Amino acid sequence: MNCYFPCLLIHFLQACIASTTPPNITTDQSALLSLKPLITSDPLAKNWSVAFPVCQWTGVTCGARRQRVTSLNISNMGFTGMIPPTLGNLSFLVSLDLSGNDFDGQLPHELAHLRRLRFLNLGINDFSGEIPSWFGYSFPKLQYLNLANNSFLGSIPPSIFSNISTLEQLQLSFNNLEGTIPKEIGKLHNLKKLICERNQLSGSLPSEIFNVSSLEIIALRANHLSGSLPSDMCRRLQKLFWLNLSENKFNGEILSTLSQCSALQSLSLSYNNFTGIIPNEIGNLTELQLLYLGSNNLDGTLLFLASREGIGVVCSLQKQFHGVVCSRLWLNDIALI
CA-based end-to-end distance of the chain: 92
Do residues 220 and 244 lie in contact, with contact meaning Cβ atoms separated by under 8 Å? yes
Q: Which of 254, 337, 268 is nearest to 300 (CA)?
A: 254
pLDDT value of position 325? 29
pLDDT digits (tens, 9 = 90+) for 17-53: 333 445 689 999 999 999 999 988 777 888 999 999 9
Say which DSSP state 319 is in.
Answer: S
Strands (E), 221-326: 224-227, 242-244, 249-253, 266-268, 273-277, 290-292, 297-299, 320-321, 324-325
The C-alpha atoms of residue 139 and residue 160 are separated, in whole angstroms, by 9
- Distance CA(316)–CA(273), nearest Å, equals 19
E strands within 208-307?
Answer: 217-219, 224-227, 242-244, 249-253, 266-268, 273-277, 290-292, 297-299
- Rounded Cα–Cα distance for residues 231 and 157 (Å): 28
Q: Angle CA(334)–CA(335)–CA(337) in degrees, nearest 5?
A: 150
Distances (CA, A) of 141 to 71, 117, 269: 15, 6, 34
The Cα 273–Cα 290 span in angstroms is 20
- Mean pLDDT in residue range 191-204: 98
Structure confidence at residue 294 (pLDDT)? 85
201, 179 contact by CB (below 8 A): yes
Please indicate whether residue 292 or residue 182 has the higher confidence score (pLDDT). Answer: 182
CB atoms inside a 10 Å sphere around CB 53? 12
Enter the pTM of the model.
Answer: 0.85
> Predicted confidence band at 65 (pLDDT cuts at 50, 70, 90)?
confident
Query: By the 8 A CB rule, do 254 and 274 touch?
Result: yes
Q: What is the pLDDT of residues 87-138, one digit of tens each?
A: 999 999 999 999 999 999 999 999 999 999 999 999 999 999 999 999 989 9
